[in-house]
A and B are shown apart, each in its own frame.
Chain A
Amino acid sequence: MKRLTLLAALSLTMLFAGSYDKVKITPDIAYIYVYHKGKAVKVHRIQDTKHKLTGEYAKQYRPGKDIQPIKLDENVRSIGEVELLHFMRNKVNKKRGILIDVRPKSSYRAESIPSAVNIPLRVKDNKVKFDKILHIFGAKRQSDGSLETSNVLDIAVYCNGLWCGKSAAFIKALLDAGYPAEHILYYRGGFQMWKILGFTTVQNN
């Protein structure tokens, strides 16, 4: 009896796993688990091959929103979705890295990438708050004003998409403060590319 339930449970999980094989992420990855606010979230792609992106993130007309360069700084690595998932698995899940959404609070609340924490861009203009954030990242302000960065976390930053300059502004603030470029990643595709590839999102109410 016990064996039968075990078998049933096993085949059920196999069935479940198989259900994300129609639209996989990479040849080896159909889904990954990430921690979002203490809960494991399964990140996969929408399996309906007829599904189209609609709404705000399908919008093409974006006056005043400059297309961003592929690289923000010689030493800040730009990444795509595959590298972001590796970052979630190897850094965020192990508390060695933080994924940061620098969009306004309202955008983040409505929908975000799983495992992301919200630090709205304007926070960088508040020196006390920004120092607190640097401290959380492991960069400690010394008495002489310099930043101690030998043990900092890896940071990945995103905003709304290819035409959003908020990530660039946030990363510039980090670099200006003395945060080491080798510990910063830039997900340029942002929320728009995440959405158009049909990746799982979460709500943050």
Chain B
Amino acid sequence: MKLSYFAAFAISTALASANHADITAGLSYVNVKADGKTYKIERVNTPNTYLNNTYALTSRPSPPFFVQPFIVTEGVETYGELELLDFISKKRGVFIDARLPNWYFKSAIPGARNIPFKLFLSPSAELNKVLKSLGGVKKNGAWDFSNAKTILLYCNGAWCGQSPTAIHALAKLGYPKDKMKYYRGGMQSWQLLGLTTYVPKEKK
């Protein structure tokens, strides 16, 4: 009797895991800190869930929206979701959402810091502050990024030019290409895979 209970339990557990959508084999979730809270990044586990928000739109007016090349510029590695999750869980650098704040504060990938791409396009005191926070040192008017942190940037998806624009601008400032990574899939691929998003808190 006890044995059959046990068997039933084992079978139901096996069935449950067969219906569970993992990130990839052996990895069902990744914990990430954002706004002082821990967020569990996992895939949606409710049957019949379909993407239906603004990210289900197939076609956006061009300009400004065009399908982005797979590689932003030679030397900057393109990441997928597994590489992104490895980057943030192992704290290998700074994870940057390069979209404008109105997009970021609606919904973002947990753990991403918002640095809008426009900031990188022209000199400002704010830009200097940001570059310093990334490990840049200003010497005789020129930036030295030899001790800069590795950064990973994303925006809205394969049709979004905001993070590529930021990467090009940073490269022009001298940021080493091997210290920049690009998550091309962005918010669209992230949500199409049913991965966790969160609403960042606006600092007042």
Contacts and interface: CB of A to CB of B under 8 A. Distances in A.
Interface string B176-204: 00000000110011011110000000000
B80 A47 contact: no
Interface stretch (A3-11, A52-60, A133-141, A146-154): A52-60
Contacts of A63: 18-21, 45
Contacts of A97: none
Contacts of B70: 78-80, 82-83
A79 B184 CA distance: 11
Interface string A77-107: 0111111000000000000000000000000
B4 interface: no
B82 interface: yes
B194 A67 contact: no
A189 B49 CA distance: 20
Interface string B140-184: 000000000000000000110000000000000000000000001
B25 interface: yes
B51 A58 contact: yes
B50 A59 contact: yes
Nearest to A68: B80
B61 interface: yes
A197 B62 CA distance: 13
Chain B's interface: helix, strand, loop or mixed, by majority? Answer: loop
A162 interface: yes
Contact of B184 (A24, A62, A80): A80
Given A58-B52, A67-B82, A81 B158 contact: yes
A66 B189 CA distance: 14
A162 B51 contact: no
> Is the interface on chain B under 10, 10 to 19, 20 to 34, or 35 or more residues?
35 or more
> Is the interface on chain A under 10, 10 to 19, 20 to 34, or 35 or more residues?
35 or more
A56 to B, nearest CB: 9
Given A82-B67, A82-B69, A162-B193, A49 B158 contact: no
A60 B189 CA distance: 10
Contacts of B43: 60-62
Interface string A1-39: 000000000000000000001111111000000000000
Contacts, number: 143
A51 B194 contact: no
A51 B158 contact: no
* Most A Cβ at <10 Å: residue of B52, B57, B61, B192: B192
B58 A27 contact: no
Contacts of B23: 66-67
Contacts of A21: 62
Given A60-B51, A197-B159, A49 B59 contact: yes
B56 A54 contact: yes
A69 interface: yes
Contacts of B35: none
Contacts of B19: 63
Contacts of B59: 23, 45-49, 51, 198
Interface of B: 18-25, 43-52, 56-63, 65-70, 78-83, 158-159, 184-185, 188-189, 191-194
Interface of A: 21-27, 45-54, 58-70, 78-83, 161-163, 188-189, 192-193, 195-198
Given A63-B20, A70-B79, A70-B82, 13 more contacts: A22-B61, A23-B65, A24-B62, A27-B66, A54-B52, A59-B50, A60-B44, A60-B194, A61-B44, A82-B70, A83-B69, A188-B80, A189-B189
24 contacts: A23-B61, A25-B67, A26-B66, A26-B67, A27-B66, A51-B57, A52-B52, A54-B50, A60-B50, A65-B21, A66-B24, A67-B82, A67-B193, A69-B80, A70-B79, A70-B83, A78-B70, A81-B158, A162-B189, A189-B189, A192-B192, A197-B158, A197-B159, A198-B58
